[in-house]
Chain A
Amino acid sequence: MLFTLMIGKLAIKIAGLVNKDIGIAGKIAYKLNKNILEKLKKKITGEFIFIVGTNGKTTTRKLLVEIFGKEKLNIGSNHHSRDDYDGIISALIEKVRIFGKTKVDYMVIEIKDIATLSLFTEIKPEYLIITNLFEEQLSRIGNFKEKINKLKMYLGTLKETTMIFNGDDPVVVDIGMDLKNRLVYYGIDNKDDEDVAEVKKCIRCDGELKYTYIDAGQLGDYTCKNCDLERPEIDYLATNVSLKDGIYFDLWTKGEEYPFDLPSQGYHNIYNLLAALALLDELDIGIDAGELALEKFEFEDNEIDTFYIKKPIFLKESDNVSSFEQSLETIEEDEGKIDILFFFGEEKNEDDITFIYDSDFSVLDKASIGKIYITGSRAYDLALAIRYLTNACKKIVVEENDISVLSHAINGKAEKLYIVAKGDNDINLEKKLITMEKKWSKNKLWIGK
């Protein structure tokens, strides 16, 4: 163990020196010692917090790290490494001391995939957050129900863990219903006049799940006509939500009201905040501490928004080169048959566009990538670069009308669509897709799976 740990620490140091991902340390350590995780766990005294779900893991983790930091708590987190198995081992190696025990207040660990979660039988976290579980994204890498069952089995072994779940997500609540643990739910009351009742297929019994309103795929207020799945009583509830000039909402819990006014954007970030605040309250740190710590918190939004309109649609809006390149990497990891739609708009500075000649577009050569739709005021610049930097010229379709290209891309033959946006575009893609998704699901009563 001592040897493995030293090698692991050395690998982290070397990886840091050459700007590489420190996940390599975890990989090496696991090769040297298959029980490394259990051993590492024994060396740490402190509470473990696991965060899982389709969207919002990273932001929730960062929120917690920020708040704990301001509270001067000693924490560890997988912020230098990825959220996969190797990355998490690396994060622990990074934190523990070679000799003796390492005392931390909290280890905040974000876990990539609910299937990976079952690998962590050695660690029983004190707290576990599930942000949301979207079928579209999970089904990319296997059968959705199988994964949920695997997750249920794993959670069944965590008798002492406090669960913090998104109560607006019926898939998450279905899991919660089978648990005997301490369980708190968070959610948003956001019914507006435009929202109409909807029906989806119940995850628990395949019956009719009736929504009084629905947001972002499957989140909302629901009741199953056939079984006992319904939106539970929400312990941490956001009301009076406003997204004008920032995020504003009132958090209601235990008869108390806490107003929040943050200089950030994004409806989904309210969920991330609620998850973090609910945990704070459970830890007796208090919601006020969160309010104070987050006054100036800047949400870095590198996440991918998921929609379902005839097929899974993944939207990545990039405001910088590295996040644009990240989206190409994400596409590369996807083995499915996909189309890509680039919204390539005006940049503040002309020089800002030449980065495309330094980016790696080789992913576009993959046979699994069908059409490459391009629109936006700089569409032809991108099309030219793709023509010269790849062998994918024949896949390119440039369309000047952004609304019609969106519909062409959604109606395309591929199983999935990735939308990558950069620069100033005339269209608010997130809003447009939410509306399209609502319209589509209204016409479609059942999720066909």
Chain B
Amino acid sequence: MDRKIVIGHLFKEQLNAFGDGGNVDVLKARLNERKIAVEIIEYAINENIDFDELDLIYIGGGRNREKRLVVDCLRGWSEELKEFIESGRPLFLTGTSLSMFGKASINNDEEIPGLGILDIATKKLEDEIEGQVVINSIVDGKEIALIGYQNIKEAYIHEYDSLAIDDNFKEGLQYKGVIATSLHGPVLAKNGELADILIKRALEKKMGSIRLTNINDHIESKLKKAIKKNV
């Protein structure tokens, strides 16, 4: 089997509130640097999605109005999406996009109906959380410190694994191939390790165990050092 990954970027036009599309650019660049072929397919609302050809799906964050539109559209693809998740292929969600996968969610005091694919609910936080954060996490048995920006008003309630090991509410979610984080915007740019985990998962689903070659991450490590000093 050839070393090629097909990434589906769903509804970039609607869900790209804070440069979220940068996550796909990061995946693409890290694959290119390793000479692994990559194809990006961007899907718009009401376009036919061939889930079978996708190795990895990314969905970014957006405002309530856009999320309603996307949920309405994705409802027609519920079964396929469920199948994609159960197959263990990676699905990466940033910002508030995870909330669309529960039955309903509250965002900014507004209830938005969801897809009901995952068993999750949201609850309003007493104090909003906003700012640069470091999230200590274990993904695929590997300890990683995720760095990014959080701006959350609601916490998730669910029985799945959290993305953080030391939080007092559920940060994001991990279930099979799904990695969801409340960090928003181009999260993977500052977290190359997480990008590599997604790439590795997608490749291994296709061709069995593989080892990714190292690439130069010196800019990221300098940035992380500076942020850790300030947080």
Tell me the A residues contacting B by CB distance below 8 Å. 350-351, 354-358, 380-381, 383-385, 387-389, 396, 398
Contacts and interface: CB of A to CB of B under 8 A. Distances in A.
B212 interface: no
B77 interface: no
B16 A358 contact: yes
Interface in B1-60: 16, 18-22, 25-26, 29
A387 B18 contact: no
B219 A357 contact: no
Given A385-B189, A387-B29, A398-B219, A355 B19 contact: yes
B185 interface: yes
A380 B18 CA distance: 18
A387 B19 contact: no
A388 B26 contact: yes
B19 A381 contact: no
B8 to A, nearest CB: 19
Contacts of B175: none
Contact of A354 (B132, B185, B223): B185
9 contacts: A350-B131, A351-B18, A354-B19, A354-B186, A357-B25, A357-B185, A380-B226, A383-B223, A384-B189
Interface of B: 16, 18-22, 25-26, 29, 131-132, 149, 151, 185-186, 189-190, 219-220, 222-223, 226
A398 B219 CA distance: 9
A388 B18 CA distance: 16
Contacts of A354: 18-19, 22, 185-186
**Most central of B16, B20, B131, B185 by chain A CB within 10 Å:** B185
Q: Which 10 A-B pairs have the closest CB atoms?
A: A357-B22, A357-B19, A354-B19, A380-B223, A354-B18, A354-B185, A388-B29, A357-B186, A383-B219, A350-B149
A404 B166 CA distance: 42
Contact of A398 (B151, B185, B222): B222
B26 to A, nearest CB: 5
B19 A380 contact: no
Given A356-B19, A357-B25, A380 B186 contact: no
B55 to A, nearest CB: 20
Nearest to B32: A391
A388 B222 contact: no
A357 B16 CA distance: 10
A300 B216 CA distance: 42
B21 A357 contact: yes
A381 B132 CA distance: 13
Contacts of B25: 357, 388-389
Contacts of A396: 219
Contacts of B16: 358
A350 B189 contact: no
B168 to A, nearest CB: 23
A388 B189 contact: yes
B219 A358 contact: no
Given A357-B20, A380-B222, 13 more contacts: A350-B131, A354-B18, A354-B19, A354-B186, A355-B19, A357-B185, A358-B21, A380-B219, A381-B223, A384-B190, A388-B22, A389-B25, A398-B219
A297 B185 CA distance: 37
A4 to B, nearest CB: 38
Contacts of B131: 350
B19 A384 contact: no
Contacts of B222: 380, 398
B22 A385 contact: yes
A361 to B, nearest CB: 10
A384 B220 contact: yes
**Most central of A354, A355, A356, A385 by chain B CB within 10 Å:** A354
Contacts of A357: 19-22, 25, 185-186, 189
Contacts of B22: 354, 357, 385, 388-389
Given A350-B149, A357-B22, A389-B25, A384 B219 contact: yes
A351 B185 contact: yes
Nearest to B230: A377
A134 B219 CA distance: 39
Contacts of B226: 380
B219 A387 contact: yes
B23 to A, nearest CB: 9
A225 to B, nearest CB: 54
Contacts of B29: 387-389
A271 to B, nearest CB: 39
A171 B185 CA distance: 50
A387 B132 CA distance: 22
B130 to A, nearest CB: 8
B158 to A, nearest CB: 27
Given A357-B19, A357-B186, A358-B21, A350 B132 contact: yes
Contacts of B149: 350-351
B219 to A, nearest CB: 5
Contacts of A351: 18, 149, 151, 185
A384 B186 CA distance: 11
Contacts of A355: 19
Contacts of A356: 19
Contacts of A388: 22, 25-26, 29, 189
Contacts of B186: 354, 357, 385
Contacts of B220: 380, 384
